[in-house]
Structure 1
Amino acid sequence: MWLQVSLFSLSGLLLSIQTQAQDRASLHRSNDPSGHCHYTFTVASPQESSCPGSDREMDGVLSRLTLLEALVSRLLAGVDKGTITGVGANREEGLQEAYSQVTGERNQLQQDKERLNRQIQELQRRLAELSQEAESLRQKPCQQTLTSVGTQHENRPANGMYQSGVLLRICISLPDPAYDFGNSGYQEMKAEVTEISASHVFHEGSCGELVSVGDPVSHRKADSITGKYGVWMQDPEPQGPQYTNNTVWRIDAVRRDVRHLFAYEDMDQFSRGFPMKVLVLPEPVESTGATVYRGSLYYQRRRSRTLIRYDLASEYLASRMDLPHAGFHGQHPYSWGGYTDIDLAVDEQGLWAIYSTSKARGAIVISQLNPESLEVKKTWETNIKKNTVANAFMVCGRLYTVASYTVPNTTINFAFDTATGVGQAVSVPFKNKYSYNSMVDYNHAQRKLYAWDNFHMVTYDIRLGRASHGRS
């Protein structure tokens, strides 16, 4: 368009020049800095009143400019029209496609809405039928009780504690004429659910032999060299409101004088690394054999066979007792070392000590302890050398040992049943994910193993089989 405007301007300029030009005028043509064509006329004297002989030349220039203007106008008109036509066609096609897509989606949404409405109506109908059937069952008492059996929770609460039990009573009623479909043998069955105590549920068969151990789940990684190995746990049977089964306890064991016990409100705070309290123990801790049970911390005093019960609520040393003949400070450790001579453990049957003596010549000795006084209630000797296994723990009165603390895919290789006094080789897969497992303990409320594997604090889900005869 700038070319067309320039031509019009040039025409006006030529007409003006024509009235004023002299006979010796000369025409010059050149480009300006912007690329436009400029014409310059020069005359000899501004006083001359006419330009003889110039009319024919100017007429020729005007004719050529007029023809050029017409050609440029037609060219521009054709280009604009083609461009506009193309753009318009493309835009119309795009709009048509978008409209078709939106229409299709709207139809699909309408169909989905109708389908969901039908499902809602069907669910409402079934709910009404079930409500009527439940009301009918409530009004009809059980006329004959066959049996009552205890069942355990397959899915425990998030905190792992048994809050209550469930007693399932199955009964058979006499034939109901309203439901007689020509079969005189038809009978209605109904289940009654009754809340019972957690202890009843436990004794109905929650204990059994260790069947499998799941993959390790990491909850936290220690942030300093003092966390190379240590012990962490939760109380399976807390006694007071100050600390619950959600409270997490931790001791970093890499120090000469280990006295700090870190308390975390729950697993989330433990993972974040924010303790709610730090307790200073009255006596230093030896290695990774400590445990928490019924509101007390149980641990071995450093460089001695003395066991200590520390009351967590009152922060008081409640009792202490020497474990008779027990090796200590490197005399009978696990294969990884770490002065793990005395390992305290807790399971469904109470508090245990796993250790060895000179009399047993390094073989594992198991003693069940009184949780109040720490006195030995009963002792068993096994035939497995303590320094040949990496770790040990108790489950349902059975001792289980871990073959290696470094091999990523190792096994639980030995079991000893205190009920029968019989030990046997087993092979339950176990993973040391971080290749330096310095502590393994069992929590019967959570039904998990807790472990400290090379700066990492991990848990393992476990599965138990059916309880053996003669055990409760």
Structure 2
Amino acid sequence: MWPLLSMCVFGLLGCTGGQDYAAHWRGNDRSGHCQYTFTVPSPSETSCPPTTTGGPEMEGLKARLSLLEVLVTRLTGGETGGPGAGSQSLADLQMALTQTIGERSLLQAEKESLLRDVEGLQKRMEDMRRETERLKSRPCHPQTPLVQPNAPLKNTGVRPGGGAGVLSHLVSRHGTQGDTGSLRDPSWQYGGSLAFQELKADVTEVPAPSPLGSEDKRECGDLLSVSEPVSHRKADSIAGKYGVWMQDPEAVAPYGGNMVWRIDTVGTEVRQLFGYEDMDQLAKGFPTKVLLLPEAVESTGATLYRGSLYYQRRRSRTLLRYDLATESIAARRDLPHAGFHGQFPYSWGGYTDIDLGVDEQGLWVIYSTSKAKGAIVVSKLDPNSLEVKKSWETSIRKNSVANAFVICGRLYTLASYTATNTTINFVFDTSTGQGKQVSLPFRNKYRYNSMVDYNPAQRKLFAWDNFHMVSYDVSLGRQ
């Protein structure tokens, strides 16, 4: 056995004589038998080909074929799944193409129609231009007198402005007594063949009447309308949720009429009065003057007039006149029988029992008394001494309205302080002592209006609406 095995080994070695070397291994296989393994390098290949078919090139080719199959499937509608998906997709494409071609045809036809319209308009413009040139180049015929030079002129309401031959009338009535009246141009009675007949008359120009109040700001009338609100500034802190802001309609030195004054009225000791050089400085929030009032302010009823601040002292019916020039109290007086500190406020509350205001006629105060049982009382005050000169009792309850102001001696009330679109609903005329219901639109832009005052110099309403200082233009006239 061993000699035969040795011969086989030598034979294999002899067969590989042309190779560099040969190697063999011995080991047990899985069944426990001895197994011999021989390795002989090939004379033409340094290694054996891989046992897997294809190699890397084949794997790359397979990947590209797979990608190509996916693309073909998508193009033919294979993703829709079904044998007829490809034909359905082609039908949809054909339908979309047909629709696009139809729309293109419609757009082309519309374009041609628009081009024809443009050409027609250009032609009309050219015709009008030629007609204009023709009329400009055509000479005017001499004027034919309509009346004899020495004939008396009839007064027909046309004022002659001077010069000979001025026409006193342009038309005259012809015909019998029964003619009810065709009006004819007198030039036709001469039978002229003139193509144009010029009529000239020198007329004295009479200026149109000015709008009410354009020349005299103090001219009065009924309140006809209130404009949309214009916002000027928003308060910076909670102290400015309610407040009062104003300009002096009859300012005196050292402050001018452009000066804007403001009081934030939320707090128990309201004493700061801020002054701004003008509206622009107010909008920027840069006060040029800050005054500390000697006594605290109650609510939003203060007003400015002739260099003084008029206001109600806190928790009292006392009225104070604070002189801005001397920075001191110039006058004080109790308002007779007036309710205060929440007895007869406006509907929004805020201790608005006493409300001061100014109009074209002077200084007013709006309040109520126990005798009036909560109805609004309006009184005219002496601006120097604060003495009540005259009072009127109205029929409208103070706590049923949101605010009130006086224009041209007429008291107006506001229906709501929170409704965005509300009305001025009542007017009381102090000249006649009569009141009536009205309905003038008014807008609370920020929906919490705590102060409304009138400025007669500017014909504006100033209001404090939920942190915002706003103004309204008013229109006055005759109903």
Q: Answer whether TM exceeds 0.5 for this pair.
A: yes
Give runs of aligned pairs for residues 131-210 of structure 1, distance below 5 A: 175-177=162-164, 180=165, 186=201, 188-190=203-205, 201-202=216-217, 206-210=219-223
Which residue in the other structure is 2:258 paired with? 246
Kindly indicate whether residue 363 of structure 2 is the aligned counterpart of residue 351 of structure 1: yes
Cα distance in 1 for residues equivalent to 2:215 and 2:467: 39
Which residue in the other structure is 1:269 paired with? 281
Kindly indicate whether residue 349 of structure 2 is the aligned counterpart of residue 337 of structure 1: yes
Which residue in the other structure is 1:150 paired with? none
AA at the equivalent of 1:176: G
Cα distance per residue 1:26-57 (max 9 Å; x no partner): xxxxxxxxxxxxxxxxxxxxxxxxxxxxxxxx
Cα distance in 2 for residues equivalent to 1:441 and 1:188: 47
AA at the equivalent of 1:239: V
Structure 1 spans left out of the alignment, 5+ residues: 1-170
| Alpha-carbon offset, residue 175 of structure 1 | 3.2
User: SS where residue 338 of structure 1 aligns?
Assistant: coil
Which residue in the other structure is 1:298 paired with? 310
| Alpha-carbon offset, residue 199 of structure 1 | 12
Decide whether the 8 Å contact of 1:399 with 1:416 is kept in 2.
yes
Which residue in the other structure is 1:405 paired with? 417
Cα distance in 1 for residues equivalent to 2:235 and 2:166: 69
Structure 2 spans left out of the alignment, 5+ residues: 1-157, 171-200
| Alpha-carbon offset, residue 183 of structure 1 | 5.5
AA at the equivalent of 1:227: G
AA at the equivalent of 1:215: E
In structure 2, the CA distance between the partners of 1:432 and 1:190, relative to structure 1 (3 Å rule), is closer
User: SS where residue 281 of structure 2 aligns?
Assistant: helix
Q: Aligned-pair RMSD on alpha carbons?
A: 2.1
User: SS where residue 473 of structure 2 aligns?
Assistant: strand
Give runs of aligned pairs for residues 285-324 of structure 1, distance below 5 A: 285-324=297-336
Cα distance in 1 for residues equivalent to 2:345 and 2:409: 22
Cα distance in 2 for residues equivalent to 1:175 and 1:437: 60
Cα distance in 2 for residues equivalent to 1:403 and 1:184: 57
Could you tell me the percent identity over the aligned residues? 69
Cα distance in 1 for residues equivalent to 2:398 and 2:332: 25
Which residue in the other structure is 1:230 paired with? 243
In structure 2, the CA distance between the partners of 1:219 and 1:200, relative to structure 1 (3 Å rule), is closer
| Alpha-carbon offset, residue 202 of structure 1 | 4.8
Which residue in the other structure is 1:419 paired with? 431
Q: Which has the higher strand share?
A: 1
Decide whether the 8 Å contact of 1:175 with 1:184 is kept in 2.
no
| Alpha-carbon offset, residue 201 of structure 1 | 3.0
User: SS where residue 387 of structure 1 aligns?
Assistant: helix
Cα distance in 1 for residues equivalent to 2:364 and 2:166: 62
In structure 2, the CA distance between the partners of 1:342 and 1:361, relative to structure 1 (3 Å rule), is same
| Alpha-carbon offset, residue 184 of structure 1 | 7.9
User: SS where residue 401 of structure 1 aligns?
Assistant: strand
Decide whether the 8 Å contact of 2:223 with 2:475 is kept in 1.
yes
User: SS where residue 340 of structure 1 aligns?
Assistant: coil
Cα distance in 1 for residues equivalent to 2:242 and 2:161: 65
AA at the equivalent of 1:284: A
| Alpha-carbon offset, residue 172 of structure 1 | 5.8
TM-score, normalized by length of structure 1?
0.58
Q: How many residues align?
A: 288
| Alpha-carbon offset, residue 219 of structure 1 | 0.4
Cα distance in 2 for residues equivalent to 1:255 and 1:188: 67
Cα distance per residue 1:49-94 (max 9 Å; x no partner): xxxxxxxxxxxxxxxxxxxxxxxxxxxxxxxxxxxxxxxxxxxxxx
Which residue in the other structure is 1:6 paired with? none
In structure 2, the CA distance between the partners of 1:192 and 1:448, relative to structure 1 (3 Å rule), is closer
Cα distance in 1 for residues equivalent to 2:385 and 2:166: 68
Cα distance in 2 for residues equivalent to 1:276 and 1:199: 32
AA at the equivalent of 1:292: L
User: SS where residue 417 of structure 2 aligns?
Assistant: coil
Cα distance in 2 for residues equivalent to 1:260 and 1:172: 63
In structure 2, the CA distance between the partners of 1:181 and 1:172, relative to structure 1 (3 Å rule), is closer
AA at the equivalent of 1:225: I
TM-score, normalized by length of structure 2?
0.58
Q: Which has the larger radius of gyration?
A: 2
Decide whether the 8 Å contact of 1:390 with 1:401 is kept in 2.
yes
| Alpha-carbon offset, residue 465 of structure 1 | 1.7
User: SS where residue 326 of structure 2 aligns?
Assistant: coil
Cα distance in 2 for residues equivalent to 1:456 and 1:200: 32
Cα distance per residue 1:143-173 (max 9 Å; x no partner): xxxxxxxxxxxxxxxxxxxxxxxxxxxx966
In structure 2, the CA distance between the partners of 1:192 and 1:398, relative to structure 1 (3 Å rule), is closer
Cα distance in 1 for residues equivalent to 2:236 and 2:216: 41
Cα distance per residue 1:244-296 (max 9 Å; x no partner): 11100000000100000000000000000000010000110000000001110
User: SS where residue 283 of structure 2 aligns?
Assistant: helix
Decide whether the 8 Å contact of 1:329 with 1:341 is kept in 2.
yes
| Alpha-carbon offset, residue 313 of structure 1 | 1.2
Decide whether the 8 Å contact of 2:376 with 2:396 is kept in 1.
yes
Give runs of aligned pairs for residues 44-55 of structure 1, distance below 5 A: none
